[in-house]
Every structure is written in C-alpha cells, then in structure tokens.
Amino acid sequence: MDNSQYGKAKKKIDQIITNIQKKGETLLPTESELCEITKVSRNTIRSVLGDYVQQGLLTRIQGKGTFINENKKKINFLSSFITQPNGESALGSILNDFHINKGIEVVNKSYPYYYFIKKLIKDLINGNSPDVIQVNPVFMKSLIKHELLLEFDSDIKEINANKRFSNELEINKTLEGTYAINWMYSPMMLFYNKKVFSMCGLDPESPPKTLEQMAKYAAIINQKDGYTGMCLPFTNNGVHFLRLYIFFLAFSGGFLDNLGNVVFDTKENIEALTWLQQTYQQSGLQQKNNLYDARILFANDRLGFLIDGPYCRNYFREISNLDNDFDDHYGVTTIPVGPSGKPEGLLLTQALAIPRSAKDIEGGKSFIKHLTSTDMDWDFLFESTGMIPCAWANMDYQIIHDDIVKTSLKQIESATSDIFSHPVLPHMFSLFVAPIAEAVLHGEDIVETLVFMKKLYRNYMQNADSLYLCF
C-alpha cells in the first residue's frame, strides 16, 4: 500500500473524527463519502478504518455504518502547558493524536506553574489524583520524599536511557529509583536585539562572548536616549530569580559548594554580585521591573539583552508581529562566559510522572511512552511551544540550521541543575530576589546583603513548618 496515501487518509479521517466528537455525534461518513473527501482509494480507507477498529476506537455495525466508540478509556493529565504561548493548542493536538491512535481519551487540566503544586496536593488529598503529571525540579524531590510518586519499572525506564544529553542532566539522577521521565528542556540563554545593536552602532552579527563584552555593549546601548542595555526581573518570583542566579554561577559561585553545603558570602558570590551591581548601575533599567515588562521592551526594540528560554521566540513573534523575519530581527547566543570559563545556564526540565494514587497506571504509562516517542511530531511541538524535546538529545547541533535549536542544545551541554537537588533552596528563590534587588538597584553593601541572605536561610530553616518546607 502507498504509505503516503494511507497517511493522507489517516490525517483527514482523524480530523473528521474530531469534528464529529465535538458535535456529540458518533456516526462516520460512509466509505464512499470518505473516498470522495480524502481523494484516496476505497482500499486505503478500509485499511485506516480497520486499524482503528482493531485499536478499539471504532466499531462497524453491518447495515448501519462505522461508529466512534463511546465506552473508551479515559485518563487524567495535570500539566502547566497554558503558561507557554500556543501551549494549549499544541497540547490539544498531542492529546487528540493519542486518542486517535490508542483509543484512550486524555482529560487535561492545565494550571500556571506557580499554582500547579497547590492544585496537585489538593487533588491528591481529596482523592482526585491525576494519572499523569508534568513535573519540574523545583518540587520533584518533595513529591518523592513524601512517597507520592510511583517508581517506574524497567520497561519505561528505558525511555530515559535513550534520551540523555552529554552531561546527563536528569532531575532524578540522585535517586535510587526512577520516578520521572524527562520530556522537555528549557535552557536559559541570551537573546539580543539586532535592531537595537544597529541603532547604537554595534555589529548586529557579533553578540558578546564574555560578560566583560556584554557589560561594555550594554553600557553603549544605555547611553542612547530611549534605549536600555539590560532589564533583569526583580519581582518576588522563584522562576524569575533563576535569571539572576546565572551570574553567580558565571563567577564560579552559587549557593551550594562542591560538598553540597549551603553558602552565601563566599569570595565568588561577592565578586558576582559586585559585577552585577556595577554593570546594572551603568546599563540597567533602574526600577523593579518584572520579566514580562522586559519582554515587552525587548519586542518593541528598546532593550538590548534579555535572558530567557527558547519558548520566548513565540512571545516576541506575538508581540512584534514578526514571523519569518524573526532571525533577522533578533539573535540568540549562549550565556556569555565569565570567570567560570563556560557559558553557565540553568536548565528547567519538564518531566512526566505517575502519582501512586493514579486510577489508571497502565494507561498513564502508555501516555508517557506516547509523549516521549520518536514518532511524535516534535518539530510541531517545538515550533508551538519552544520547548526542546528530550527526543532531540542525540542531535548534532552542527548540522542544525535553526539558531534557537542549535543554541539551546549548546547551552544544555554546559547547564547545571545542582541548585534544584537541595530540599529547601528552590522553595526560597522568591525570598532571595528582594535583597539582591536592593543591592543591584540601590547600591546596598554587597557583603551585608549576602550575610543577610544567609540569616534569611537559617531563620527559614528554624521556623518554617515541615509541610511548608516541603511544598
């Protein structure tokens, strides 16, 4: 059989099934009508329908026609896809594809990441456990510690084995078992505005390679009336804090030493915060802007640099009405190198897990295998959400033409996620933003700021109740 004709017929029949379901109906058009609609042979139509009958999606009743099965399986998926541009529509396409191919309907509930964990805990307590959840490193460890996640067996663990980057950044790498399957990555990297570069006399095709060059370029941009070199997020948001933390890593600093001890007022952290203060005083927007303000400035050609994830291309396309001209207007590169000697970055991993209290564990496993399958249309998913699929782990970025994908894969190679392995620090990210903002924006003493953060951590450890600490 001609595979191209089969694929053409299948795609069209999938659309027809979806439209029929939306109407609350079950009867498909006749084979003759489907031939007319799809412009393929009756044998091809029969082959597609026969496969769907075998999978349990359709039922043929002689003399009456072909019907969509109403007594199909359902599983519940809890995700945070709606926080990504086009995320909801992309996920809808994925769920429909799984429904068509496996005969299992997926009921999705999406919540913003900042509300997601509260919703999950509430559902688990109330006995309304989803069958599959999308998890990230910020609360992964806590869920495992409280034995809320199912440990995967060997048949599904193999998915992880085939989806590794060279530095093997698995959010479950320190665990004895496997409780999540890596799905998509979002590395922090540097966006730069080529139009702003040109307006300020800089070469739009020569982004900064070092922090020193970045500081110099940002200062030049800031000198031109109406333009700003940098705009960092200084709102009390844990995920936004990660864009500040990158600079500590670039100076070989950070809040965890090589032995896993929590540290703040080290020589490296002092140097990092001093550089950030001095650079921002010369080239940053002198007010407490949030990340969304920065994105608007960048898309409107008023900001030189922005640290963000690959999904931001869709934000900028939306805001600036640019589509095919995106790469001519904006550029992307790895985080400029500091004293650490490599382009530091933080990798936000989105993984898939099954709660212990899931009602359909086998259905959940089947869904996870589908979501991580190499048969999925990953190009569509990336284009829709900007998230880098783990299925691309073994791609050679030297042969990739899309700058966002190429830069993402390069950035992932040098990214770190050690901060996420700590049981408490990720839950304190939002508390750290205020003292850093005071030091950077208002020139507060660097050492006193870091000592204050150390006291903040100790006080938190002494006074926070165990449940709040964990969630």
Average pLDDT over residues 452-459: 93
Share of the chain above pLDDT 70, in %: 84
Average pLDDT over residues 253-268: 92
Q: What is the mean pLDDT of the chain?
A: 82
Q: Which fold has domain 3-68?
A: Arc Repressor Mutant, subunit A (1.10.10)
DSSP string, 408-440: HHHHHHH-B-GGGGSSSGGGGHHHHHHHHHHHH
Does residue 375 have a pLDDT over 70? no
Does residue 287 have a pLDDT over 80? no
Q: How far apart are CA 13 and CA 7, in angstroms?
A: 10
The pTM of this model reads 0.77
**Contacts of 178 by beta carbon, 8 Å cutoff, 6+ apart:** 151, 152, 156, 157, 160, 172
Confidence band of 466 (pLDDT split at 50, 70, 90): very low
Q: How far apart are CA 463 and CA 225, in angstroms?
A: 48
Residue 333's closest CA among 205, 199, 247, 222? 205
- In 78-153, which residue ranges form alpha helices assigned H by DSSP? 87-102, 113-125, 137-145
Q: How far apart are CA 237 and CA 407, in angstroms?
A: 26
Domain ranges of the chain: 3-68, 74-186+347-414, 189-343+423-470
Question: 211 near 333, Cβ under 8 Å?
Answer: no
Confidence band of 2 (pLDDT split at 50, 70, 90): low
Q: How far apart are CA 400 and CA 407, in angstroms?
A: 10
DSSP element (H, E) containing 306: strand 305-308
User: What is the structure's pLDDT at 255?
Assistant: 94
User: What is the structure's pLDDT at 399?
Assistant: 56
Q: How far apart are CA 59 and CA 52, in angstroms?
A: 8
To which residue do tokens 């809890």 refer? 78
Q: How far apart are CA 95 and CA 101, in angstroms?
A: 10
Look up residue 223 and give its two tokens.
Answer: 């000198």
Q: Which CATH architecture has domain 189-343+423-470?
A: 3-Layer(aba) Sandwich (3.40)
For 74-186+347-414, the fitting CATH number among 1.10.1740.10, 3.30.530.20, 3.30.460.80, 3.40.190.10 is: 3.40.190.10
189-343+423-470 shares the fold of 3-68: no
3-class state of residue 43 by DSSP: helix
To which residue do tokens 């600490």 refer? 469
Q: How far apart are CA 411 and CA 5, in angstroms?
A: 40
Q: What is the pLDDT of residues 33-47, one digit of tens each?
A: 999 999 999 999 999
3-class state of residue 418 by DSSP: helix
Q: What is the pLDDT of residues 138-161, one digit of tens each?
A: 677 777 777 888 888 766 656 654
3-class state of residue 243 by DSSP: helix
Does residue 468 have a pLDDT over 50? no
